[in-house]
């Protein structure tokens, strides 16, 4: 199998795992799909779009985009090199040289819900339910 075939196979596996990952939210999946369609093994394996471009094409606020990119990076779905003077550089966490295995960069800790769902309320004598 040549480099491009393995890279594309890794990308399909990456998309499959991203779509089924309970550790990232819908916004992170949307941003991940944007990167998956933008990065190509033939042309570019690293991109550095401006944040304004990402906000426009992901159709979300800057804050939501920042959270989504952080979540993708922590979950092992995206590699980010941050630069102050120029745009950040983004890479998929795989190449076409070996099969990809996801590795988290930060241990997963489930988020605490602000208003977790409660069980059914007990019936009272005056209740119609």
Note the pLDDT tens digit of each residue in 87-129: 788 888 888 888 888 888 777 776 676 766 676 666 666 655 5
Contact status, residue 100 vs residue 6, Cβ threshold 8 Å: no
Q: Tokens 């094409």 correspond to what residue? A: 57
% helix, strand, coil for the chain, step of 5: 40, 10, 55
Enter the pTM of the model.
Answer: 0.76
CB 41 within 8 Å of CB 4: yes
pLDDT of residue 82: 87
State pLDDT tens for residues 12-35.
999 999 999 888 999 999 999 998
Judged against a pLDDT cut of 80, whether residue 69 lies above it is answered with yes
Q: What is the CA radius of gyration of the chain?
A: 19
Give whichever of 36-40, 42-46, 56-60, 80-84 has the largest mean pLDDT.
56-60
Task: Give the architecture (CATH level 2) of 3-91.
Answer: Orthogonal Bundle (1.10)
| The pair of three-digit structure tokens given for residue 21, joined into one six-digit string | 């990952």
Q: Sort strands 46-47 and 89-91 into parallel, antiparallel or unpaired.
A: antiparallel
């Amino acid at each position: 199998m040549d480099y491009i075939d393995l890279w594309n196979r890794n990308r399909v596996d990456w998309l499959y795992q991203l779509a089924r990952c309970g550790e990232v939210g819908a916004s992170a999946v949307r941003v991940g799909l944007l990167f998956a369609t933008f990065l190509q093994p033939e042309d570019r394996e690293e991109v550095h779009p401006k944040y304004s471009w990402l906000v426009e094409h992901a159709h979300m606020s800057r804050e939501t985009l920042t959270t989504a990119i952080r979540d993708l990076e922590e979950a092992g779905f995206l590699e980010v090199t941050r630069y102050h003077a120029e745009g950040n550089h983004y890479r998929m966490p795989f190449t076409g040289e070996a099969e990809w295995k996801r590795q988290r960069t930060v241990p997963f800790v489930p988020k605490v819900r602000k208003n977790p769902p409660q069980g059914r309320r007990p019936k009272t004598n005056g209740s119609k339910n």
